[in-house]
Structure 1
Amino acid sequence: MNATLLFYPVYLLIAFTLTLIFIPQKDYKEYLIYGIIVGALGDVIMVGLVQNVLHIMWFKNMGIFDVLGQHALSPLSWLVTVMLFLRFLPSRKTFLYIYILTFSCASVAYGIVVRNADLYDFLAWFYPIPAYFIFVLWWSFAVWIFSKTSSLIPRGRP
């Protein structure tokens, strides 16, 4: 078996396990809903736009995980990543801004790692700066929607 095919399943298994460890069972459903909407659906929309419409990035070497030109495990990976991201939101605004900027850097790094695994590629100008700003917007949106609608955040935070 090609080792690159294991990249997403291994990431997904690790991240899913971390959600089970760090997210209380009573809160899991609500984090899951945000993971589905902001993470999985967000990934399908962004990949559809950036890959299929703008042709800036593309998946490759997907093997059995190729579904309509998208990697089937990418939305699931975003689902659990968003769950973890939201679970650890800092309550202080200064730390929240740093958290979003840092998570955006980590997202760019993850994209480069996936590229190095030969599962994904992009036009040279897209990484790191334009991609970084997209991730800043995406993570900021996740915080905004979560803070406006979640019962898990005491009003006034973040």
Structure 2
Amino acid sequence: MRRLNPEHVARVVALVNQGPYIQLLNMRVVELGWGSSLVTADLERKHHNPFGGVHGGTCTSLIDTAAFWSAYCQMAEDQGFITVDVNVNTLAAVKEGRLAARGRCLKMGRTLCLTEALVTDPEGRLVAHGTSKMVAVPELMNISQAVKAMGGQPLPPKFLD
């Protein structure tokens, strides 16, 4: 396992949390590690479906986000990846509070990656489970290119070794 640069990880977390979609859903990337992530969302009325429960798309977005970022630290420096699919199983209804999605990278290959995420409610009850596959695409904008396009300062190296 390669040694992650904590400064790189902190900068990436700060950048991700400034993303418009992340902010729209009140999501927040809390942790990034080797093969793991933690993403939370503070629920509001805007997350509800017409029947008063949280819309399934909220958990799907949490799963997609946690799954992707669980793989990020294992990806090669400046590798572009894109989600191929997301499969979600909704296991319980939820109406309020903070949801937490814990992502885990199950398999990192040269071009394909398999991840999963578990979403829990404030009481720790499992409310959704999902899996996601990602593919490496050389032509895809990587994180360093995205930072440059936004006019930001270059990121420090991802790895210390």
**TM-score, structure 2 as length reference:** 0.29
Higher relative contact order (CA 8 A, sep 6+): 1
**TM-score, structure 1 as length reference:** 0.29
Higher strand share: 2
